Amino acid sequence: MRSINQTHRMKVCLISFHSFSPHARCLRVSWWKFVAYERFSYDALGQQIHVRALIVDHNQTSFVDLLLLYKEGVSYEISYQNQTCKKAPLKTPFRPIEIPPDAKLQGEVVLGSSSAPGMGVLVNSWTGAVPELKAKYLLTFTEFGCLPISSLNHVENVGLILTSFYDLVIGIEDPNEFIPPPFCEKAELQQTEKTAVPFLGACIICSLLSC
């Protein structure tokens, strides 16, 4: 099992869902697609993630700022514009960005070209399944550094989920990324865990097998 345990940032996450349902004598096809552009800070050792996401869904856009502190079991939905903060329990276990131990290596390829130095990136492709989630996956990680490149998943009753990672930076540039802003100190803890977390549910967790 190989994993990364520093801070990384992702610029783009593309997610699309396709579903097909038989109905009477015809085939009913439903289609849903949305795109999320995200930047995140990820600390596997501290088990904490901070993500800022711009989500485009059916020509409607929304912005989400989420701080997920797994060791504390708390999540914060932050609005700097309104100076407000929603604090909720976070009971979902932390899942590191890694190649699952039971994943099968499909092959090693070069993205780009191997004709000259600097023209390509050596990557490995891995496949596997998560029976309890009724999901299958194809993961692509770099050979050196074990950094995520892309993830393609098929989840039953959900569809296809595609995630791409860009501009990853190793190292924690600003530890304050994982500290809630002062106006969050007075936020009251909600009684129920937030269930619709775009970043957690759609990108990192679903794409890396814990959706």
Which pLDDT belongs to residue 108?
Answer: 96
The backbone torsions φ and ψ at residue 131, rounded to the nearest 5 degrees and listed phi first, read: -55, -40
The backbone torsions φ and ψ at residue 114, rounded to the nearest 5 degrees and listed phi first, read: -105, 15
pTM metric for this prediction:
0.75
What's the rounded Cα separation, in Å, for the pair 119 and 149? 16
Q: Give the list of residues 6+ apart from residue 162 with CB closer than 8 angstroms, or none.
A: 14, 15, 16, 150, 151, 152, 153
DSSP letter assigned to residue 188: P
Beta-bridge mates of residue 21:
28
Residue type, 35: V
Beta-bridge mates of residue 56:
35, 61
Q: Give the list of residues 6+ apart from residue 86 with CB closer than 8 angstroms, or none.
A: 76, 77, 187, 190, 194
What's the rounded Cα separation, in Å, for the pair 157 and 118? 42
- Helix, strand or coil for residue 190? coil
Q: What is the distance of C-alpha 67 from the center of its chain?
A: 13
Which pLDDT belongs to residue 194?
Answer: 57
> Which of these, 176, 180, 173, 179, lies nearest to 78 by C-alpha position?
180
Tell me how far CA of residue 173 lies from CA of 8, 39, 166, in angstroms: 10, 13, 17
pLDDT per residue, tens digit, the chain (211 aa), is 555 555 554 444 444 444 444 434 444 445 556 677 788 888 989 999 998 888 777 778 888 899 999 999 999 999 998 999 999 998 888 888 889 999 999 999 999 999 999 899 999 999 999 888 788 999 999 999 999 998 888 888 777 788 888 888 888 888 899 999 999 998 999 877 654 343 334 444 343 333 3
